[in-house]
Amino acid sequence: MIIYLDMDDVVADWTGAASTYLGIDLTKENERLPESQWDILKQFGRFYRNLPLKEGADELATWCQQYCIKTGAELRFLTALPSQNDMPWAIQDKIWWAADHFPNIPVFIGPYSGDKWKHCQIGDVLIDDRESNCSDWAKAGGFAHVYRNWEQCQYWLKNTLPGAE
């Protein structure tokens, strides 16, 4: 079994950083940023490099690492490129970001959000903030949780994964 953690809005506070940068209050109601706002955001080509940690990120990563040690499962990040691939530094900055915050978790690239399900083998786990990614993952035979906060995710993990406590 492989546990895949999305990065943006699971361990990295993408929405919070984008809200601050754009000077607006973004929510997770709409899973896509309007193009006019994306055009402003992509002018900051290194946006992904210094995203703040999302609240609960350390707890999520630690829980998953301990579970993997106990069960022999693997833990990986599974992140995506911006849909237009219009931020050339995104891949490198996401890898460097992960190395700074979670140096023992390798980064895999979707490459795009809608491609994540292609990484799924029967029984693999995806923790992702996008409902569409989780739905596609489950259709591919994996277990998926729509991430909103650590407390809900911890409950789901303990009640879904074999051997979890």
pLDDT band at 165 (very low <50, low <70, confident <90, very high): confident
Domain extent, residue 126, equals 2-13+48-160
Split into its structural domains, the chain has a count of: 1
How much is the pLDDT for 112? 85
Does 41 fall in a domain? Answer: no
Q: Is residue 140 part of a domain?
A: yes
Specify the pLDDT at position 95.
97
Least confident of 95-99, 145-149, 160-164: 160-164
Lowest pLDDT segment from 24-33, 53-62, 64-73, 85-94: 24-33
In-domain check, residue 23: no
Q: Does the structure show a pLDDT above 60 at 30? A: no
Q: Is residue 99 domain-resident?
A: yes
Q: How far apart are CA 25 and CA 46, in angstroms?
A: 21
Mean pLDDT score across all residues of the chain: 92
- With respect to residue 36, please indicate whether it lies within any of the assigned structural domains: no
Q: Any idea what the CATH number is for the domain that residue 120 is in?
A: 3.40.50.1000
Q: pLDDT per residue over 113-146, tens digit each?
A: 889 999 999 999 999 999 999 999 999 999 999 9
Q: What b/e sequence results for 98-129 when a residue is b if at least 16 CB atoms lie within 10 Å of its CB, and e otherwise? A: beebbeebebebbeebeebbebbeeebbbbbb
Integer angstrom CA distances of residue 16 from 1, 24, 75, 103, 136: 32, 10, 25, 23, 26
Q: Look at residue 22 and tell me if it is in a domain.
A: no
- pTM for this model (two decimals): 0.93
- The band of 106, judged by pLDDT with boundaries at 50, 70 and 90, is very high
**Is 141 inside any structural domain?**
yes
Is residue 105 domain-resident?
Answer: yes
31 pLDDT more than 60 = no
Q: Both tokens of residue 123?
A: 């029984």
